[in-house]
């Protein structure tokens, strides 16, 4: 998408749709509304009164341009009164993009000023116009995508232009993660996921090492291999590295992602309804890959690694079973309880590997537990952290990105439920606090690392659009991760 900053007047700009955002108790006194209203011979404010328009989040009103102004129609989006944060600006841009999606051209009066607001607006415009159309043919294939958007601003500076370019890059990375999640599991195998990571890495100057089954054996990842046993597809392990150029000593952050391209539950098979959307079980991997690419595209002054363990969880004749015991990469033995708790096994080996990279911060994303959706609903992810500063940093980043997390405790009282009579650990603990016991299992494999675990089972994939997020794969987590890296 090409976004142009322009000083055009809102009455003159010649587009199919002009979007203006209005907040406060007296929308008729908003300067933009007054200017348009004057050009439209009082029609705008008359419409607002007739339609009982209240300027609040979610309200909207469309009026025709009727040849009196450059735009064919005007969409007024209500918002809250007072100053708008960059996250507010992003939401408005998402709504503007959605409204403009079926049109050839769109202009948006910038709801905020300065680089932060403009980056958020650009990100919102790009991510808001997302649709997954890869598998649509003939007349169902959309003819045009919103290719050009004009953002109206009082003045244009070089730093504003840079901010817009950065927002576009971030929006594209969010959309890249969504594409990975939405891709059907017959096409997005572990091999294909790794290929897509490699392709994006090559394009953006990121190092990317892909390990096949032999490579994974050599790396010593018995738990990833255990989960892969029931599959006809080879597993993959991916390690991406972005190193900033010419910055001397910088921080190192390692992201780890759960890359289950499909989770049938294995022998402890899921009921059909719970299995239906299980292509989304690689969303953590998608966030991880997209975040490394974003760091490279934004040239962030941080060394960023992306580590992904990928396979599907299937029921083939060699499938792993409840009762099996496997060693892990770091030597602890693990008794298998329920083959549907496969994610924590893959992550255990990936986290052991990641910890050996000696990161300043270690962060994993995983669609790990259904219990997380029971606890927090569909729109919020769980955040666990072994370090307070890391926790605070992540929460701040989430707020700036407009994504919702909730801190849960790594409650030591629940650790006992992971004790096994015959192995060092059981891999499933108490069902009560199931999100916490899963996190406690992972914690066994991170050593002393400053670690955050993000259970994104709820918001990674949605049945219907909500807030800024589209239906299907959402890319939830990418924007927060990038803000987190920015804040280091
Ligand atoms: N991938 C699922 C978790 C999940 C559920 C993600 C719904 C997204 C939406 C995970 O592998 C799983 O099956 N977890 C089990 C663990 C249980 C067997 C201890 C669960 O949550 O039921
Ligand atoms: Mn599972
Ligand atoms: Zn899973």
| Best mutation site among 370, 429, 435 for ligand 1 pocket (most ligand atoms within 8 Å of CB) | 370
- Ligand 1, atom 13, residue with closest C-alpha: 340
Q: Is the CB of 418 under 6 A from ligand 1?
A: no
DSSP summary character for residue 466: B
Q: Which residue from 13, 299, 8, 5 is spatially nearest to 157, judged by alpha carbons?
A: 5
Question: Residues 236, 297, 344, 443: which is the catalytic one?
Answer: 344
Q: Does domain 170-486 have CATH number 3.40.630.10?
A: yes
Instruction: Give me Rg for the CA atoms of the chain.
Output: 24
Q: Is the CB of 343 under 6 A from ligand 1?
A: yes
Residue ranges covered by each domain of the chain: 2-152, 170-486
- Ligand 1, atom 16, residue with closest C-alpha: 341
Six-digit token string for 314: 């299937």
Atom number of ligand 1 nearest to Cα 270? 13
Task: Tally Cβ neighbours within 10 Å of residue 26.
Answer: 10
Atom number of ligand 1 nearest to Cα 280? 8
Q: Is the CB of 369 under 6 A from ligand 1?
A: yes
Cα(277) to centroid(ligand 1), Å: 12
| Best mutation site among 340, 364, 374 for ligand 1 pocket (most ligand atoms within 8 Å of CB) | 340
Q: Is the CB of 457 under 6 A from ligand 1?
A: yes
Q: Is the CB of 283 under 6 A from ligand 1?
A: no
Cα(307) to centroid(ligand 3), Å: 17
Cα(406) to centroid(ligand 2), Å: 22
C-alpha separations of 316 from 214, 254, 269, 320 in Å: 20, 33, 12, 9
Six-digit token string for 420: 């096994």
Atom number of ligand 1 nearest to Cα 369? 21
Between CA 46 and CA 238 the distance in angstroms is: 59
Nearby residues for ligand 2 (ion, Cβ within 5 Å): 263, 340
Between CA 23 and CA 109 the distance in angstroms is: 13
Cα(417) to centroid(ligand 2), Å: 19
* CATH assignment, 2-152: 3.40.220.10
**pLDDT value at position 282?**
99
Q: Which residue from 210, 291, 303 is spatially nearest to 257, judged by alpha carbons?
A: 291
Between CA 311 and CA 226 the distance in angstroms is: 10
Question: Residues 270, 332, 391, 415: which is the catalytic one?
Answer: 270
**pLDDT value at position 109?**
98
Nearest ligand, CA of residue 455? 1
Cα(314) to centroid(ligand 1), Å: 14
Paired sense of beta strands 17-23 and 106-109, if any: parallel
Task: Tally Cβ neighbours within 10 Å of residue 73.
Answer: 17
Cα(61) to centroid(ligand 1), Å: 42
Nearest ligand, CA of residue 283? 1
Asked whether the beta carbons of 295 and 242 are under 8 A apart, the reply is yes
Q: Is the CB of 371 under 6 A from ligand 1?
A: yes
What are the start-end ranges of the E strands in 355-436? Answer: 361-366, 381-385, 405-407, 425-426
- Ligand 1, atom 19, residue with closest C-alpha: 341
Between CA 209 and CA 77 the distance in angstroms is: 46
207 counts as catalytic = no
216 burial class (0-12, 13-18, 19+ CB within 10 angstroms)? buried
Cα(247) to centroid(ligand 2), Å: 41
**pLDDT value at position 147?**
81
DSSP summary character for residue 8: -
Q: Is the CB of 281 under 6 A from ligand 1?
A: yes
113 burial class (0-12, 13-18, 19+ CB within 10 angstroms)? middle
Between CA 389 and CA 295 the distance in angstroms is: 21
* Low-confidence stretches of the chain (pLDDT beneath 70): none
Q: Is the CB of 372 under 6 A from ligand 1?
A: no
C-alpha torsion sign, points 225, 229, 231, 234: positive
Asked whether the beta carbons of 397 and 374 are under 8 A apart, the reply is no
Q: Is the CB of 282 under 6 A from ligand 1?
A: no
Cα(276) to centroid(ligand 3), Å: 12
**pLDDT value at position 247?**
84
270 counts as catalytic = yes
Asked whether the beta carbons of 219 and 353 are under 8 A apart, the reply is yes
Between CA 146 and CA 105 the distance in angstroms is: 7
Atom number of ligand 1 nearest to Cα 372? 21
Q: Which residue from 316, 241, 300, 344 is spatially nearest to 487, judged by alpha carbons?
A: 300
């Amino acid at each position: 998408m090409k976004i142009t900053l322009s000083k055009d007047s809102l009455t003159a700009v010649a587009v199919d749709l002009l979007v203006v955002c209005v907040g406060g108790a007296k929308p008729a006194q908003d300067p933009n509304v007054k200017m348009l209203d004057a050009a439209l011979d009082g029609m705008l404010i008359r419409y607002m009164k007739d339609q009982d328009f209240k300027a609040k989040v979610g309200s909207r009103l469309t009026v025709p341009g009727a040849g009196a102004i450059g735009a064919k129609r005007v969409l007024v989006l209500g918002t809250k009164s007072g100053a708008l944060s960059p996250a507010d600006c992003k939401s408005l841009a998402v709504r503007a993009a959605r409204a403009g999606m079926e049109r050839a051209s769109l202009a948006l009066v910038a709801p905020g000023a300065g680089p932060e607001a403009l980056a958020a607006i650009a990100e919102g415009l790009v991510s808001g116009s997302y649709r997954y159309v890869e598998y649509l043919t003939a007349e169902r294939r959309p003819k045009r995508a919103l290719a050009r958007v004009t953002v109206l601003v009082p003045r244009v500076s070089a730093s504003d232009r840079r901010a817009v370019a950065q927002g576009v890059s971030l929006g594209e990375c969010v959309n890249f993660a969504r594409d990975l999640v939405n891709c059907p599991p017959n096409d997005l195998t572990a091999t294909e996921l790794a290929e897509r990571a490699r392709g994006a890495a090559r394009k953006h100057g990121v190092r990317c090492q892909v390990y096949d089954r032999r490579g994974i054996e050599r790396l010593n990842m018995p738990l990833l291999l255990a989960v892969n046993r029931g599959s006809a597809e080879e597993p993959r392990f991916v390690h991406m590295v972005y190193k900033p150029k010419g910055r001397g000593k910088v921080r190192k952050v390692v992201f780890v992602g759960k890359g289950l391209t499909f989770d049938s539950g294995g022998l402890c098979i899921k009921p059909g309804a719970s299995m239906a959307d299980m292509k989304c079980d690689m969303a953590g991997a998608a966030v991880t890959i997209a975040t490394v690419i974003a760091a490279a595209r934004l040239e962030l002054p941080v060394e960023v690694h992306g580590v992904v363990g990928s396979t599907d969880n299937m029921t083939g004749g060699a499938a792993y079973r409840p009762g099996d015991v496997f060693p892990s990469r770091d030597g602890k033995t693990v008794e298998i309880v329920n083959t549907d708790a496969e994610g924590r096994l893959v992550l255990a080996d990936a986290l052991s590997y990641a910890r050996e990279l000696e990161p300043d911060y270690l962060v994993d994303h995983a669609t790990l537990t259904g219990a997380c959706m029971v606890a927090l609903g569909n729109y919020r992810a769980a955040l666990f952290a072994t370090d307070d500063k890391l926790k605070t940093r992540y929460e701040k980043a989430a707020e700036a990105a407009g994504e919702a997390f909730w801190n849960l405790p790594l409650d030591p009282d629940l650790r006992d439920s992971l004790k096994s009579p015959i192995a060092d650990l059981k891999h499933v603990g108490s069902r009560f606090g199931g999100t916490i016991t899963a996190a406690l299992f992972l914690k066994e494999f991170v050593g002393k690392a400053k670690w955050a675990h993000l259970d994104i089972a709820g918001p990674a994939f949605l049945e219907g659009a909500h807030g800024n997020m589209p239906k299907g794969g959402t890319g939830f987590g990418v924007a927060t991760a990038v803000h987190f890296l920015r804040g280091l």
